[in-house]
Amino acid sequence: MTSPYLTPLTERPLLVLYTGGTLGMVETPDGLAPGGDIEARLARALATLPPARQASLPAYEVVAFPEPIDSSAATPREWQRLGREIAGRYRDHAGIVVLHGTDTLAWTASSLAFQLQGLDRPVVVTGAMHPLEAPGSDALANLELALRFAANPALQEVAIAFGDKLLRGVRARKWHTRDDDAFESPNYPLLGERVDQDAVLYPGRGLAHQQRGAPRFELPDYTALADGGVARLVLWPGIGARQVAAWLEDPRLQGALLEVWGGGNAPEDPALLEALAAASGEGKLLAAISQCPHGSIAIGEYAAGQGLKAAGVMSGEAMTPEAAMAKLVHLLAQPLDDAERRRRFLTPLVGER
């Protein structure tokens, strides 16, 4: 690896990591399929921009994963692989752009934020709703926007560039199945936007203004949690204690995210609460967020939520499901005691709460 002291940070090229996704797919007789030669295809696409915009693009290098990830089939193993890839290469580059499928893009961005704590340069995740060469595709616009934000040293966190917006990775969700403006940040303002042809970073909204030290990457092994080690349980009217218990009593389960109603309510069913308390007592890490996409929860504010609090369920406040799940996986993969895991879950680590 090149020494980080040979060239100033601003003179190092960006790294573009192609992991897969619709952006790099091509039409085949059987439908869309991963396409090769991504470096040349990206260069051809960027060469169609007006000359002045081409001239102002940052220098970049491309590394393509030999086997593109189908993002709909991604697991924490893929999060771990990508986190370690970035950690091994980031010092040679002024910033990183990750090209990723949109289905689980927000999940990957959330996990990267927890793995790459203390970032001192941008990691920008993007993708597209249409292939790069498709007529009217959003791919080129997203690629250009990601490159420009990744070259801004004032951005020092994992972010998502998509649909003319820059969103905090741990605050973003895929909101539309087909619209080009596919991602939203329901409980945190945008970090930046495209204004005319400029990528404008809004001051005071990012992590860079906080007191920072050296990068403190945490790259634990997620393997033991990759096959259902953390469950996501969405409550519905009529849910039975036996159904919740069937999940929580699985010895392979280490944690669970509950999606409860409103501001933190759940059925006052003694059997249900007993199942939660038993799992919590066994050291399984339980947290709750609201099914409502906007707003926060406060467990115990209503009488209907007191049982959750007594059962040891932690409040996820206004966290997204993607960020809450990724954080549970990240904490459970580390050699921490129960009290420290709970403390860290309840502590903002990368602007997720």
**CA 235/CA 255 separation, integer angstroms:** 16
**CA 262/CA 294 separation, integer angstroms:** 10
Written as one letter, the residue type at 341 is: R
The residues annotated as belonging to the active site are: 22
Give SS3 for 184.
strand
**CA 110/CA 324 separation, integer angstroms:** 9
Close Cβ partners of 323 (under 8 Å, ≥ 6 residues apart): 110, 113, 170, 171, 352, 353
**CA 139/CA 145 separation, integer angstroms:** 10
Which is nearest to 160 in space by CA: 252, 240, 98? 98
Provide the CB-side half-sphere exposure for 216 (13 A, CA).
7
Close Cβ partners of 112 (under 8 Å, ≥ 6 residues apart): 79, 82, 83, 86, 98, 123, 125, 158, 169
Query: Strand runs (DSSP E) across 282-328, as ranges?
Result: 285-290, 314-315
